[in-house]
Amino acid sequence: MGLFHLAAELDNASKAGVRRMRRFQHYLEAEMGRALFEEAQHVAETAELNTWEVFTNPTGELASQIKPVLLDPYTAAVDFAAPYAARREFGYSGQVDALGRFYPYDPAHPYAIPALEEHQAAIEQAMWRALNNTILDLITGPLPA
C-alpha cells in the first residue's frame, strides 16, 4: 500500500449488526427447533387423546409410547414406539403377520394423521413466527452471545 490512502469503514453499530447477521442461522435454528418441538408436543398429546376416542378397547399402552422428537433444528417428529401403532392407524385387514396369523378384519382407526391435520395450521404459524422473531431480534436488538 502506498504512503497515502483513503479507507471506508462501518461504524461500530453497523459492525455489530453484521456480526449478528453472521449468527443468523444459529439463532434461527434455536428458535425454529423450540417452536417445532413445542408443536410436536401438541400433536403427540392430541394423538394420545385420539387413541382413547377411536380405539374399541384402549389399554393406554400405545398412548403411553407416543413421544415428540426433535430430529434436527428444522424437523420435529412424533414417534410411535408401539409395534402395532401403524396397524391401528392404517388397519391390517386381510394381512398375515410375521407369526403367520391371518387378520380377516382389522380395520383402520386413524388417531395420528388426524392429530397432525388438526395442528397443521398451528405448525405453519409457529414456523413463520420463529423466522419473524429471529429477524426482529436481529434488527432491533442484541441477540445472546
Count of structural domains within the chain: 1
Domain presence at residue 4 = no
Domain presence at residue 100 = yes
Instruction: Supply the pTM of this predicted model.
Output: 0.82
> Is 80:64 a contact under the CB 8 Å cutoff?
no
> Is 40:78 a contact under the CB 8 Å cutoff?
yes
Closest CA to 66 of 115, 109, 123: 115
C-beta neighbour count of 21 within 10 angstroms: 12
Closest CA to 135 of 31, 55, 15: 31
Enclosing domain of residue 114: 28-140
Domain presence at residue 21 = no
| Cα 71 off chain centre by | 8
Per the DSSP assignment, residues forming a β-bridge with 62 are none
pLDDT 10s digits, 46-81: 999 999 999 999 999 999 999 999 999 999 999 999
pLDDT < 70: residue spans in the chain: 1, 141-145
User: What is the DSSP secondary-structure string of 57-83?
Assistant: S--STTGGGEEEEEEETTEEEEEE-ST
Domain presence at residue 99 = yes
